[in-house]
Every structure is written in structure tokens, then in C-alpha cells.
Structure 1
Amino acid sequence: MSTHPDFEGLYRDVIPSVVSVYVGGRRRPGGAGSAFVYDDHHLVTNEHVSRLADASKSNRVELRFADGSWRVGDVVGSDVYTDLAVVAVDDVPADATPLRLATENPSPGRPVAALGNPLGLEGSISAGIVSGANRSLHTSNGFAIPDVVQTDAPINPGNSGGPLVGFVGDTDDGPPYEVVGVNRAKQGDNIGFAVSPVIANRILPDLVADGHYRHSYLRTRTLDVTPSVAEANGLDTPRGILVVGTASGPDSTDILRGCSGTTRLRGWEIPVGGDVIVAIEGNEVRTHEELMRYLITETRPGEPVAIDVLRDGAPATLVVELDERPSGDRDRDTRGGGGSRIPIE
């Protein structure tokens, strides 16, 4: 990779495949969002962008390509839990070629560019680096998207759904750029987020083929085991995630067991008595984000999974058959693998 990233070259090569998205025939400040070409007949955007089309009861969006031409697309697939959506469109301009989606998540420090339609300013590019990886980003439905990419490249309203593009250096099988995230949100100065390519690669093929993605559902509410949680639960070391509650009830002996009460420690009410998940299918679980990432990328509803836990301080292995998460579920108390946080020191 060059010491000085060629953002001019990146813009020239990538911008024909970046699309501005409008809903209801209105070109308004901020627009509806952005998208990029995924294959010869589909674009990728955010679910919350496509939701505007659904609200208009048309399920259609108007698309403006970089060459100035317009198309009308149909939202054919969406997933509220990862904020991804797919738009089908005929007759994509010849120079709007599909952008390659990275197979691995980018590392912090990698130069990137966010392209799209911020504040209605079509064909914009902003640059920065990957600031962090493996973040968890909470959505309006109470679900947390795992594995999110953090960047300091400016992302503003209207950028949503556009590509976060990274350099790959010299390559013999295509351009030296790849999409390393689907831009989603801004939180504070110099902090933006994008859905990771690992998550996108898992979700998008199903959205194209079936219109939806079937999420595995563990029916648990969890809390990371911090030193305070470990102390309150009589654990020697802070390790794994505590099952605060389950949809199946606290008295079941053949599935995960939730907490039976709370104890007060240094001013905080901390749940106690639940199983502590330490691994799934032999893969160590240190945070609820790791559990969620594994459920999304490695499992399907109906599959049995082996979950290693500490129950009353003793190791045990439980086999749990995964459910399918209900479409549009908003029950924060039974979210699979994740959970609302309580303040912990």
C-alpha cells in the first residue's frame, strides 16, 4: 500500500457505483440515504433507509447514479437486526460496476473513505481511518448489531447505506479497493459506524435470494462479567457473560438458567445466581458481542449448539436448540445473546 493513499483515484474508480436514494419523489436536504452496487441487479443500503419506502406504502425508491441518470428500484429484502437492505434495479449504468465486499473486517489504522449523499450533497467523499473494530451498536428496536466498524471518516445524515471503502494495495484480480463497511450512523464528533463486511457477507445473500434473514434466537438477556459481577456471584475471575434472564424461566434444568435475584455491591444492584456462558461450540465467549457475532455468522435456527457454562461455580455443558427470532421483535428482555446493560463499576 502506498504511504500516501490515492483518494483521488479511489473516488474516480468507486463513485460510479455509489447511488443516491430518494423516497416519494422528493429531493430534500439529507435525502433518504445512499447505496452501492452489489451485483448486476441489486444495490445495498440500510434497512432504516428502505423503511422510508415501506412507510410510503410503495416499497419503491428513486435512485440517482453518479452519471446523473435516474432509476426506480424495488426494496426486495431487509433485515432490521443488522440494518441492511437490498434494492433491485434494472438497467444499471454500464460504469456502475459491483463493488467488492471484503471477506474480513478491517484493522484499526487502515485508511478508508466514506462515499455517498450526505445532507443531499450527491457524490461526496470523506476520508479517515478505521478507529476501532468489534464494536456493538444499539438500534432503535433495542437490538445490538455486533462486529461494527468504527471510523473517524465523517459520516452525516444521507451517508447511511453508502460504502466505507478501504485500500487493498496491488492486486491482480480487480481494483485496489474493497468495501469494508456499510455506513450507518454518526455518534459524536469523529465517531462514525458501519456494518462490518463479515456481517454483510452473511446477511446479504439471503436478502437477495429470500427477502429476509432467519436469525438464531437464544432467548437470553446477558451481562458481561466484570470484576464487580464476578465478586457478587462468587467467581474467582471476571470471565464470560452472565445470563440475567431467559424466556424459558429460571427453574429449567436442561437449558440456560437466569438469575434468581440481586445483591447490592458498592451501591449497585447486581444480578446473581444465573449461568455464566464461557464458550459456545468450543469458542471462548468473553463479551455478549462475541456471542452475538457467533450466532449471526455461524449458526442457523433449529440447530443444536453446545454451550459451556459455569453453574453455581461448577462447569457444565448444555445443548440448546436455537429458535428463530420473530420478525421485528422488540422484546429487550429476551433478546438472543444480548441484553440491556445495568450500571457496573
Structure 2
Amino acid sequence: MSPDQHHVTRRRLLRSAAGTAAVIGLGGTASASSSARDTAVDVSSGTLQDDEGADAEGRYAEVYEETIDDVVLVNVFGTGEPGRETPGGLGSGFVIDEYVVTNNHVVGGSEMVELQFRDEQWREGTVVGTDIHSDLAVLSVDDMPDGPDGLEFATGGPTIGDEVLALGNPLGLDASISQGIVSGIDRSLPSPTGFSIPAAIQTDAPVNPGNSGGPLVNLDGEVEGVVFAGAGQTIGFAISAALADRVVPTLVEDGAYEHPYMGVTVTPVGPQIAQANDLEEPRGVLVTETIPNGPADDVLRPATGGTTVDGSVVPVGGDVIVAIDEQEIPNQDLLSSVLALETSPDETIPIEIVRDGERGTVELTLESRPDVDAP
């Protein structure tokens, strides 16, 4: 038996033995057993019967064939002493510029992982950079197989209603495809760091444990997002190409990525907050706290107290952020997206606020987001 044959047989045994590490918030790894690189095509939005539907279904197959060679299975072994092991599992990844992109929570602190390509060739992947805040990781591969050409991140961002395809290894079923649409954009996803992951894409393409780290592609075969998690009820999420395209090159170059940091806690301005603060409309975000010695300390004013409106206590007295550098900020999700995609640490930005009923502008110099302990 050749070393490669031994490795494939060993992998099949591992799939049966690996423990599932998937949860609703971080559904990235799986342990379901399957034949190596079995192909599962799941056009999951219903039966397509008219000519237009048939054309679309044919395009799904074309995109699949154009992109699937760049999609890899990521195998992570458990680590630690007996009785105190960190569980391993399976996830997905994809090739961009001769590197493999996946989720940080898929690699799980490992320095080395195993990668299996569509032609069943195995390679060792070395983790060259990780970012817990965006949940992205980049792997280098010695002796990349001939099949992958490398995918590209989409530019311009998706539109709600666009068709997308999720490629990866759900439940360990290799080289799978599922179809759906972009259901929402500029979502903020919960993160174990305490900071949200901004500018995320919501989709109804089925996403299951094992899909995380794989690409969410449009019908041109471009990567719209890096699959992050599934939440059931036909809701899945992906880290946007816009964010990934900022983070990934820096992870390749430096091994880490510095996120811009304002040092504030905010809450959306709804009707009750608008009423309590005599605002003309319920729009923007109210600063409820500034972090001591943070960038916003002594620049933005936090809420000074609370009052009761219709039986609920709401904050009053703080600055309301309504725009950053002329970009309107109607809600908290867009604030996170603008900071993540349009600003950088050490940059000074103009922030338009409403303070004491008057609209004005203050300047704030961003810093790098502070370190957090990995969960």
C-alpha cells in the first residue's frame, strides 16, 4: 500500500471517529463519515421545471465544475494530553492566490492541518495567519496540486436576491454544493471575542457543520463570502468578501490583522430613545459608554443616566452618531460595517453627532482593537 493510499484509508477511519464540534454560533466542523471526495449536488430551493429554471440549473453545474477543484477538505486533529484533549474535526477551505482560506474556528489553534483536494491528493497545510475577530485563517501549502487555479473575491458586494452556491463538506460529505439566494447583507454576527463580525452575508443556501470555511460563490464563480455558520431554519451566514479581501492579504504578509477600534458601547436609537432625548427621528446610534483611555474618551459623550418611557428605562444624555465621513449611520450594523471596511487604525475620522439637540462634527483618531484571550 502506497503512503497516499494509507493516508486515504486512515482518513476514512478518522471521519468515523472524530467528535462533532459544531454549535449554532460556530458551526464549522463535522464528523459524519463518507467516502473520500464523494460528490453531492443539492439544488435545494425546489424542483426547476421551466426553461429558465433548467438554464439556471445547468449554470449551477457549470459553476460547480469551474470552482470545485479549488475547494478543499480541512482535517484538524485533536490535541492535548489524554483526558484533556481538544477535539478535532472536519471543515472546508478554498484556494486563493496559492493559499488556502478557511475559518479561524476550523483550525482551532492548530499550527498544522491536513488538506484533501478533489482528486484525493493530500497536502499538509501550515497556518500562516489567523484573525479571531473576523474568524479567518490562511494556510500555506507546499507543492500545491495541479487542479486548483485559485478563486477570486467578488468586488462590489452582493445584492439581496442574488443567487449563490455554498461549496464545501457539510457533515463530512465531500465536494458538496447547495443553492440559495442572498437573504441579507451588513449583518453583525456574534463573536466569542465580545466584538461582532461586521458586514456579514445572510443566505438561505443550506449550511451545515463542515461547511464553515468554504466559499459562498455567485453564478460567475466569484467568492461572495466565507461560510461562517448555520443557524437552522434555512439561515446561514458568511463573512463578506469585502472584509475577507482586507484581512486575508495582511494575514499572508504579517500573520495578523489590526482592526480599527473606537472604544465605545452604543445602542440603536428607536422611538423610545428618540422621544426621551428629544430627537427629530429614531435614527443613528446612541453612545452609552466610552472605554476609559480609549479613542473616544473625552471625544464622545456617553449617556448620563436613564428615564422611563412607556414603562421601559432608556438611556439619555449621550451623543448620537448619525454619520461617519459623510456616510450615514442609521443603525449599529452599518456603523460596524463602515468601521471595518472603510477605516483603519491610526486614521482620524470625522464623526457627525447630535449633542444636546445640536448637530455637529467631532474628530476621532482610531486605534487598534485590543487583544482578547482566545476562547
Shorter chain as denominator, the TM-score bin is 0.7 to 0.9
Matched residue of 1:187: which SS? Answer: strand
Instruction: Name the amino acid aligned to 2:163.
Output: P
Give how far 1:249 is off: 7.8
Deviates more, 1:196-205 or 1:139-148: 139-148
Pairing 1:10–2:63 present? yes
2:186–2:199 contact (8 Å) kept in structure 1:
yes
- Counterparts in 2 of 1:312 and 1:329: CA distance versus 1, 3 Å: farther
- In the alignment, which of 111, 136, 139 is matched to residue 188 of structure 2? 136
1:249–1:258 contact (8 Å) kept in structure 2:
no
The residue that corresponds to 2:357 in the other structure is 313
- Work out the CA distance in 1 between the residues paired with 2:201 and 2:119: 30
- In the alignment, which of 212, 220, 227 is matched to residue 160 of structure 1? 212
Instruction: Name the amino acid aligned to 2:240.
Output: S
Give the CA RMSD over aligned residues.
Answer: 2.1
1:104–1:197 contact (8 Å) kept in structure 2:
no
The residue that corresponds to 2:246 in the other structure is 202
- Counterparts in 2 of 1:316 and 1:248: CA distance versus 1, 3 Å: farther
1:18–1:123 contact (8 Å) kept in structure 2:
yes
The residue that corresponds to 2:97 in the other structure is 39
Instruction: Name the amino acid aligned to 2:193.
Output: N
Matched residue of 2:222: which SS? Answer: strand
Q: What is the total number of aligned residue pairs between the two structures?
A: 312
Instruction: Output aligned runs, 1:105-144, within 5 Å.
Output: 105-144=157-196
Instruction: Output aligned runs, 1:190-229, within 5 Å.
Output: 190-229=234-273
The residue that corresponds to 1:75 in the other structure is 127
Larger Rg: 1 or 2? 2
Matched residue of 1:230: which SS? Answer: helix
Give how far 1:262 is off: 1.1
2:290–2:297 contact (8 Å) kept in structure 1:
no
- Counterparts in 2 of 1:70 and 1:253: CA distance versus 1, 3 Å: closer
Matched residue of 2:218: which SS? Answer: strand
Give how far 1:254 is off: 4.6
Instruction: Name the amino acid aligned to 1:131.
Output: S
- In the alignment, which of 189, 200, 203 is matched to residue 233 of structure 2? 189
- In the alignment, which of 11, 14, 21 is matched to residue 74 of structure 2? 21
Pairing 1:98–2:150 present? yes
Give how far 1:328 is off: 2.4
The residue that corresponds to 2:115 in the other structure is 63
- In the alignment, which of 331, 348, 372 is matched to residue 304 of structure 1? 348
- Work out the CA distance in 2 between the residues paired with 1:95 and 1:267: 63
Give how far 1:32 is off: 2.8
- Work out the CA distance in 1 between the residues paired with 2:153 and 2:346: 29
Give how far 1:267 is off: 2.6
The residue that corresponds to 1:174 in the other structure is none
Residues 313-344 of structure 1: CA deviation (Å, up to 9, x unaligned): 111211111111112269xxxxxxxxxxxxxx
- Work out the CA distance in 1 between the residues paired with 2:88 and 2:239: 20
Matched residue of 1:235: which SS? Answer: coil
- Work out the CA distance in 2 between the residues paired with 1:320 and 1:313: 20
Give how far 1:253 is off: 8.7
- Counterparts in 2 of 1:30 and 1:189: CA distance versus 1, 3 Å: farther
Residues 6-56 of structure 1: CA deviation (Å, up to 9, x unaligned): 111121121110000011279xx993310000112x111011112252xxx
Residues 206-238 of structure 1: CA deviation (Å, up to 9, x unaligned): 111111111111000011111111012121211
2:113–2:124 contact (8 Å) kept in structure 1:
yes
Pairing 1:325–2:346 present? no
The residue that corresponds to 2:278 in the other structure is 234
- Work out the CA distance in 1 between the residues paired with 2:360 and 2:280: 17
- % of aligned pairs identical? 48
Give how far 1:256 is off: 0.6
Matched residue of 2:158: which SS? Answer: coil
Matched residue of 1:167: which SS? Answer: coil
Residues 143-169 of structure 1: CA deviation (Å, up to 9, x unaligned): 21111111111100010000001113x
What TM-score, normalized by structure 1, do the two folds share? 0.86
- Work out the CA distance in 2 between the residues paired with 1:329 and 1:307: 30
2:285–2:321 contact (8 Å) kept in structure 1:
yes
Pairing 1:286–2:330 present? yes
Matched residue of 2:89: which SS? Answer: coil
Give the gaps of 5 or more residues in structure 2.
1-51, 80-86
Matched residue of 1:32: which SS? Answer: strand
